[in-house]
Structure 1
Amino acid sequence: MFSNSIKQRLTALALAGAALALPTAAMAGVVVKSTGPSATRYPVGSKVDDNATITLKAGDVITVLTANGTRVIKGAGTFRVGDRPQVAADRFASLTRKRAATRVRTGAVRGEPAEGNPTNPSLWYVDVTRSGTVCLYDLATVRLWRPGAPDTITYRMFNRENGTSVDVTFDETVTVAALDPTRLPIVEGAPYSITGPDNATSAQVSFVLLQGDFEAPDTLAEALIAKGCSVQLDLLASGLEADAEASGL
């Protein structure tokens, strides 16, 4: 007969073996961009495991962000989600770098005139041409961005609830201007309109605070989706997708 000590050792070994035999949890990615015939099967915000396979049709393009990188999958065919993700650390860092305003008065950032279709260089700049909810870490350092143009143009931003407004002028190659929080306080959830020089509305926006830091693309994407910040999600997805495709994915 076995002694109690031997029985205990055998039991411990059996439990350890069972634990090793358990399958490891697959890392889940989040779909951040989905176009084509299968877009309804893999909508933005859906989760897919790295070990999962998905079947796409001709014309499908699905972009998945995981903790390991970006995966751009194009149909037709059957694909394993976790195969060959591309890490775009530099692009992610550039898009998400927090750039606090250094002046209380309206400030500006100059840049070289953009060729073709310029894109917003930061998730935290408010695009004056895009409507939607904007996620920010700090509502006292809001900056507006306009597509580069070699001319001077003034936009007006106002709170539709109380009528408070401020004019922001972009001179020549200036593409980023900081709002003065004393002249136009930004209130979470309040509706704001941005109008151009012809008084036509170019964007309607509202703001929501992000709680905590998100240092990985997939967790940031999930936070943007949860808050309804679709314009920033699209910018994040497009930037990382471009880098992934440039890497030969």
Structure 2
Amino acid sequence: MFSGKSIMPIKSAMKSGALACAAIAMAASAAANAGVVIKSSGPSASQYPVGKKIDDSGRITLKAGDSVTIMANGGTREIRGAGTHRVAERGVSKRSTFAALTKQRSNSRVRTGAARTGTGPLSSVRSNLWYVDVTESGPVCVADFSAVRMWRPERELEATYVVANSNSAEHLHVTFAEKTMIADWDAARMPLSENSPYTISGPGNVEPVTITFAALDAVPDNPEDLATALIEKGCTSQLELLATKMM
């Protein structure tokens, strides 16, 4: 049989373990509820730099002329003007929007569905965060280097773009069929390399654009953490798209 003296240390250890678990749970909850600044301007911009984490249940104090855009509570909110403002507001859930925007699509699985031949209005905004805009320079974050897809903002005519790697003599021709806004990057012919500059030249006298790819080791499952990852990699175009779609 155990004596009272031998039982006391066990109870103490159990209590300590419970407190530790509670502390971990609280920390995880706090991390999950952390909003992130994605755009900031005005007199208080230095207090709220891009990438700053803010408790989405808290408040911020701004001055006249301030504008702070925050990703918090699963959505984007732009806060303007002097006064004390709540960081997040309850609204319609954006979970389905986020899921569609960040869905990773295999080239082989989606190739036949890529050609949108409908006669609906033309959208100049990408429907998926991982599509590479052939008209815009800058870093591009990639979730899967083996299934990169190119996107153009128009679809009326067939068009071919030439991709060149500055570190190689190889060229890749990416052809968009008529009425199609999406085309595959042939990774077998031109494998992607992180941080290598790629020049994309389009038809006509349009100025070529230069892009670099940055790999995301894991894609966060919430807008706040994904915004932070995009900021850290310098993928501002995708950050703006995320902010717009989650508005």
Q: TM-score range by the shorter chain?
A: 0.7 to 0.9
Amino acid of the structure 2 residue aligned with 1:74: I
Cα deviation 1:84-127 (Å, max 9, x = unaligned) = 36531111111100011107xx9882224663661011111000
Cα deviation 1:222-244 (Å, max 9, x = unaligned) = 11111221111111011101xxx
- TM superposition score normalised by structure 1: 0.77
| 1:206 equivalent in alignment to 2:219 | no
Cα deviation 1:188-211 (Å, max 9, x = unaligned) = 121101111136443211112111
The answer to whether the 8 Å contact 1:123/1:232 transfers is: yes
How far apart are the structure 1 equivalents of 2:46 and 2:121?
35
| 1:149 equivalent in alignment to 2:155 | yes
| 1:179 equivalent in alignment to 2:167 | no
How far apart are the structure 2 equivalents of 1:181 and 1:189?
16
- Given the superposition, is the C-alpha separation of residues 107 and 164 from structure 1 closer, same or farther in structure 2, using an over 3 Å criterion? farther
The answer to whether the 8 Å contact 1:71/1:86 transfers is: no
Give the equivalent residue in structure 1 for 2:114: 109
Q: Secondary structure at the match of 1:197?
A: coil
Q: How does 1:20-59 map to 2 (within 5 A)?
A: 26=30, 27-35=33-41, 38-57=44-63
Structure 1, 110-119 or 192-201: larger mean CA deviation = 110-119
Q: Secondary structure at the match of 2:60?
A: strand
How far did residue 56 of structure 1 move?
Answer: 3.0
Q: Secondary structure at the match of 2:108?
A: coil
How far did residue 165 of structure 1 move?
Answer: 1.0
Q: Secondary structure at the match of 1:99?
A: coil
| 1:216 equivalent in alignment to 2:226 | no
Unpaired stretches in structure 2, ≥5 consecutive residues: none
How far apart are the structure 1 equivalents of 2:164 and 2:195?
14
The answer to whether the 8 Å contact 2:45/2:66 transfers is: yes
How far did residue 137 of structure 1 move?
Answer: 1.9
Q: How does 1:40-119 map to 2 (within 5 A)?
A: 40-57=46-63, 60-66=66-72, 68-76=73-81, 77-84=83-90, 86-102=92-108, 109-111=114-116, 112=118, 115=121, 118-119=124-125
Aligned residue pairs total: 225
Give the equivalent residue in structure 2 for 1:135: 141
How far apart are the structure 2 equivalents of 1:167 and 1:59?
47
Unpaired stretches in structure 1, ≥5 consecutive residues: 242-249
How far apart are the structure 1 equivalents of 2:112 and 2:212?
21
Q: Percent identity?
A: 41
The answer to whether the 8 Å contact 2:76/2:243 transfers is: no
Give the equivalent residue in structure 2 for 1:189: 195
How far apart are the structure 2 equivalents of 1:85 and 1:61?
21
Of the three residues 224, 240, 245, the one matched with 1:239 is 245
How far did residue 36 of structure 1 move?
Answer: 5.2
- Given the superposition, is the C-alpha separation of residues 204 and 84 from structure 1 closer, same or farther in structure 2, using an over 3 Å criterion? same
How far apart are the structure 2 equivalents of 1:160 and 1:238?
32
How far did residue 63 of structure 1 move?
Answer: 2.8
Q: Secondary structure at the match of 2:208?
A: strand
- TM superposition score normalised by structure 2: 0.78
How far apart are the structure 2 equivalents of 1:139 and 1:230?
19
How far apart are the structure 1 equivalents of 2:171 and 2:205?
13
Amino acid of the structure 2 residue aligned with 1:178: D
The answer to whether the 8 Å contact 1:128/1:202 transfers is: no
